[in-house]
Amino acid sequence: DSQSSPEALAALPLRENLRGLSPYGAPQLDVPVTLNTNENTHPVPDEVVRAITASVAESAVSLNRYPDREFTELRQRLAEYLGHGLSGSQLWAANGSNEILQQLLQAFGGPGRTVMGFPPTYSMYPLLAAGTDTRYQAGVRGEDFSLTAESAAAQVAEHRPNLVLLCSPNNPTGTALGLDVVEAVYRASEDHQGMVIVDEAYAEFALSGTRSALSLLPGRPRLVVTRTMSKAFALAGARLGYLAAAPEVTDALRLVRLPYHLSAVSQATANAALQHYDVLLETVEDIKRQRDRIVDGLLELGLEPAVSDSNFVFFGGLEDAQQTWQALLERGVLVRDVGIAHHLRVTAGTQAETTAFLDALRAVRTGT
């Protein structure tokens, strides 16, 4: 989208650690079936649209004033939604969980400090690190992209990062971490007092038996669990992410958040949506069914889907992932090339979108 030349950018006195970086840029193409950014592709139900509209209209009357800086009602509603005995003082929200992660890095990272992630993982982690001048330490996973408690803890003990980002379910691979991994990483961080952040953006889509790290919060003051309304709640456009942690973590974030960072419109939207969360979350079961259909369909085509606890499926076994991506696009289906050879990632959409993806992939694979 940029109108400038690379030379013009290079001539600016940009910070050294931002030179040569590419911005986050999943393509926003006008394609019939868009399954590349793990959104909930179901439209917001009418009932919720009406509630949001009324709530925003009410907030509009006082837009001359700054919003509630503490978004007290929202924090209370988020605590009730999460359960686990959490109170509003343990909740914090921002413009997407991206902003939550940025605030955590601003408060606990920064120059001279290190954040550790385990690639392949959410592509924004290194960029958020660069933006806050935090050194990014890339940990390693097993051949099959798995991460065991033993390996993660040993790597954390070796590098002693100020923060660890554990993405569970992991993007792009889709698989959740066992709580033993979170516990082991937390234990390995005790010695150097590191923060452990579990990014649970996709938690609501987990397979039965997968447990949330929220249950580990009691007694762990440096554990943070981040969530978002962008995925299960079908509200990516509203930009509302949140976290649960010890109350002192939210005090730390008050030092870095911009004054009134959460607009009155955002608060009104999220509060109305949370009053209807049961309706909003009705799509989750269907999305999980579509995800499972994708896994089955991929296996039938001789491909190799990873275990998915999320609303997307990461799969290998492609001779040429880039070529398959292009061929799918030509059939009107946009998926994600995450830059890992022989692999692609696809979001589970509606039943019709899922069928369109599976049909297109079958056609591409069988040359019909």
Nearer to ligand PMP, 288 or 345 (CB): 345
Using only C-alpha atoms, the chain has a radius of gyration, in whole angstroms, of 21
Q: How far is the CB of 51 from ligand PMP (least distance, A)?
A: 21
Distances (CA, A) of 160 to 105, 137, 282, 339: 16, 10, 42, 29
Nearer to ligand PMP, 241 or 364 (CB): 241
Please check whether residue 181 is in contact with residue 118, taking contact to mean a CB–CB distance below 8 angstroms.
no
Q: How far is the CB of 138 from ligand PMP (least distance, A)?
A: 16
Q: How far is the CB of 77 from ligand PMP (least distance, A)?
A: 17
Nearer to ligand PMP, 81 or 154 (CB): 81
- Dihedral, CA atoms, 197, 202, 205, 211, nearest 10 degrees? 0
Q: How far is the CB of 26 from ligand PMP (least distance, A)?
A: 8
Structure tokens at 60: 């509009």
Per DSSP, 361 falls in state H
Structure tokens at 281: 């979350």
Q: How far is the CB of 124 from ligand PMP (least distance, A)?
A: 7
Q: How far is the CB of 347 from ligand PMP (least distance, A)?
A: 10
Residue nearest ligand PMP, Cβ-based: 96
* Separation between Cα atoms, residue 42 and residue 50, nearest integer Å: 16
Nearer to ligand PMP, 59 or 228 (CB): 228
Nearer to ligand PMP, 163 or 364 (CB): 163
Q: How far is the CB of 8 from ligand PMP (least distance, A)?
A: 29
Angle value at C-alpha 2, between 320 and 24, nearest 5 degrees = 50
Nearer to ligand PMP, 51 or 229 (CB): 229
Nearer to ligand PMP, 98 or 212 (CB): 98
Binding site for ligand PMP (CB under 6 A): 38, 96-98, 122, 167, 171, 199, 201, 228, 230, 236, 241
Q: Are strands 333-334 and 304-305 parallel, antiparallel or unpaired?
A: unpaired
Q: How far is the CB of 247 from ligand PMP (least distance, A)?
A: 22
* Separation between Cα atoms, residue 296 and residue 222, nearest integer Å: 40
* Separation between Cα atoms, residue 105 and residue 156, nearest integer Å: 17
Nearer to ligand PMP, 139 or 364 (CB): 139
Q: Is 343 exposed, middle or buried (0-12, 13-18, 19+ CB in 10 A)?
A: buried
* Separation between Cα atoms, residue 235 and residue 45, nearest integer Å: 11
* Separation between Cα atoms, residue 17 and residue 277, nearest integer Å: 41
